[in-house]
Amino acid sequence: KAGVTQTPRYLIKTRGQQVTLSCSPISGHRSVSWYQQTPGQGLQFLFEYFSETQRNKGNFPGRFSGRQFSNSRSEMNVSTLELGDSALYLCASSQTVTGELFFGEGSRLTVL
Amino acid sequence: QKEVEQDPGPLSVPEGAIVSLNCTYSNSAFQYFMWYRQYSRKGPELLMYTYSSGNKEDGRFTAQVDKSSKYISLFIRDSQPSDSATYLCAMRGTDSGSARQLTFGSGTQLTVLP
């Protein structure tokens, strides 16, 4: 069974630009969560989607948004990029809203 | 002060040693406790999952939770070079509405020397 797939794996943007990251969950998984990982703050929860609905949101500014499609694939968007947005963005899927989280390898964003 | 504190290391041990990794936390609402392993340039993978206090063993790994002290541990017996990775503790409360919102420690970088 294929794991969680995230694209792109690496990308470089400049301040003020916007970026869209994509996540394909494990087949049959309907819950998708996003986390930001930085050396200073560690892993921090961004938001969770289940059946195309955002169930929960972490403490991030409105520049961070996401959505989930009917096939459970998810995207997250960051607008007006800042240097501090440089991070590894991890997507995780689970079969249920309380089941084990399976993480992808992440999308590493560098903002110059 | 962070809700979850974890010594970042780095920690180097010889092959075959017993490794002890620890986290402390301040939020008494945390009831579910997890340990993840993250290899370089990979996403975290779940190693151990425990509910409330007690011990849980899985092969060479043992997880302990002491809620009275707000302290959790992961022990690795007979450590191998393939165990070299960053180990992250994570925890959450009982609210199913926020079950995906884990609070992570900062991670301990472990190197097992052959």
Give the one of B44, B101, B107 whose C-beta lies nearest to A58's C-beta: B101
The Cα-based distances of A8 to A45, A108, B19 in angstroms read: 20, 8, 36
Tally A–B CB contacts below 8 A: 54
The Cα-based distances of B54 to A78, B4, B30, B62, B78 in angstroms read: 41, 19, 14, 10, 22
Structure tokens at A92: 């995780």
Task: Look at residue A81 in the predicted model and tell me its pLDDT.
Answer: 98
Give the residue numbers in A contacting B (CB under 8 Å), as ranges. 4, 31, 33, 42-45, 48, 55-56, 58, 90, 92, 94, 97-98, 100-106
Cis omega (within 30 of 0) on the bond before B14? Answer: no
Length reported for chain B: 114
Residue B98 DSSP class? G
Task: Look at residue B85 in the predicted model and tell me its pLDDT.
Answer: 97
Where chain A has pLDDT below 50, the residues are none
| Interface contact A48-B107, CB threshold 8 A | no
Chain B CB contacts of A7 below 8 Å: none
Distance CA A104, CA A45 (A): 15
Chain A CB contacts of B104 below 8 Å: 42-44
Strand partners, A102: A93
Give the one of A4, A56, A102 whose C-beta lies nearest to B101's C-beta: A56
Task: Look at residue B94 in the predicted model and tell me its pLDDT.
Answer: 81
Q: What is the full per-residue pLDDT of chain B (114 aa) written as tens digits?
A: 789 999 888 999 999 999 999 999 999 999 999 999 999 989 999 999 998 888 999 999 999 999 999 999 999 999 999 999 999 999 998 877 777 889 999 999 999 999
Alpha-helix runs per DSSP H in chain A: none
Residue given tokens 């096939």 in the structure block: A71
